[in-house]
Amino acid sequence: MAQDINPIPPALFLWEEALPGGCHWSGIVRRGNALRLTDLSGRANVSALFYNAEEKLERYNMPDTLKAQHTAHLTTGHALYSDMGHVLCSVIHDTCGWHDTVCGTSDAGTVKAKYGEATYQTHRNAMHRNGRDGLLVELGKWGLGKRDVVPNANFFSKAVADDAGRLHFDASSSRPGAYLDLRFEMNVLVVLSAAPHPLDPRPDYAPGDVMLTAWKAGAPGADDVCRNHCPENQRGFYQTEILYR
């Protein structure tokens, strides 16, 4: 939860692109590169799915990620696993401390029920967008669709479970300038939606803007914080590295 800045060295910078609140994005991030997601206003949610760009049937697997690391949330040191025992990407730095893995996305029905209707006809590009449709639109650009939607990560969002399993959204978890750095261990198709988190209780539709910044992070060393997080990750990183031998 360090309040640090940790600037990206200019020599390693690759590109930067804004993802406005509510909007969706997809692209390939290659092995050895990293993506910084920055919550500009402190009110962002980024629903994310990840696919092996070379074999898109291999994809982010929430349960495998959680079980391998005995965690229900993501932060520094955690790897995001595919369903094939490989590490798609890993959280090498995080100033937020908790990213949700279990709540999924909003959809057209839940957004309309919670925020009312705001269509393109009445609101142009300020229309209400929902997470599921944003992901489906991006997936369609790569020949993917509903069959490829699996439980997603929600960066910058926190929902805490009580003893009975009831979830309580913590709107104070993120803050302006909070960011996390994902280092990619494979060539990965990244699919994002910045629509509101489905359990965000705030009544106004005001999803926060996000900045995406890519740079050359290099390969994880022997002392890497994610590789050494647990013995499971050491095996996961090994199995990922032999893919590229």
| Interface residue list for another protein (CB under 8 A) | 57, 61-64, 66-68, 70-73, 81, 83-85, 98, 102-105, 107, 109-110, 145-152, 160-167, 198-199, 232, 235-236, 238-239
Identify which of 233, 244, 240 has the alpha carbon closest to the alpha carbon of residue 76.
233
Q: Which is nearer to another protein, 213 or 239 (CB)?
A: 239
Q: Which is nearer to another protein, 109 or 218 (CB)?
A: 109
> Assign residue 104 a region: left if phi > 0, alpha if psi is -120 to 50, beta otherwise?
left
Cβ–Cβ under 8 Å, residues 42 and 178 = yes
Q: Which is nearer to another protein, 87 or 212 (CB)?
A: 87
238 contacts: CB under 8 Å, gap ≥ 6: none
3-state secondary structure of 5: coil
Q: Which is nearer to another protein, 102 or 137 (CB)?
A: 102
Separation between Cα atoms, residue 189 and residue 205, nearest integer Å: 28
In whole angstroms, the minimum distance from the beta carbon of 192 to another protein comes to 16
In whole angstroms, the minimum distance from the beta carbon of 244 to another protein comes to 17
Identify which of 36, 50, 51 has the alpha carbon closest to the alpha carbon of residue 96.
36
Q: Which two tokens stand for residue 86?
A: 């490989």
Q: Which is nearer to another protein, 28 or 167 (CB)?
A: 167
In whole angstroms, the minimum distance from the beta carbon of 59 to another protein comes to 9
Whole-angstrom distance between the N-terminal and C-terminal Cα of the chain? 36
In whole angstroms, the minimum distance from the beta carbon of 67 to another protein comes to 6
In whole angstroms, the minimum distance from the beta carbon of 168 to another protein comes to 9
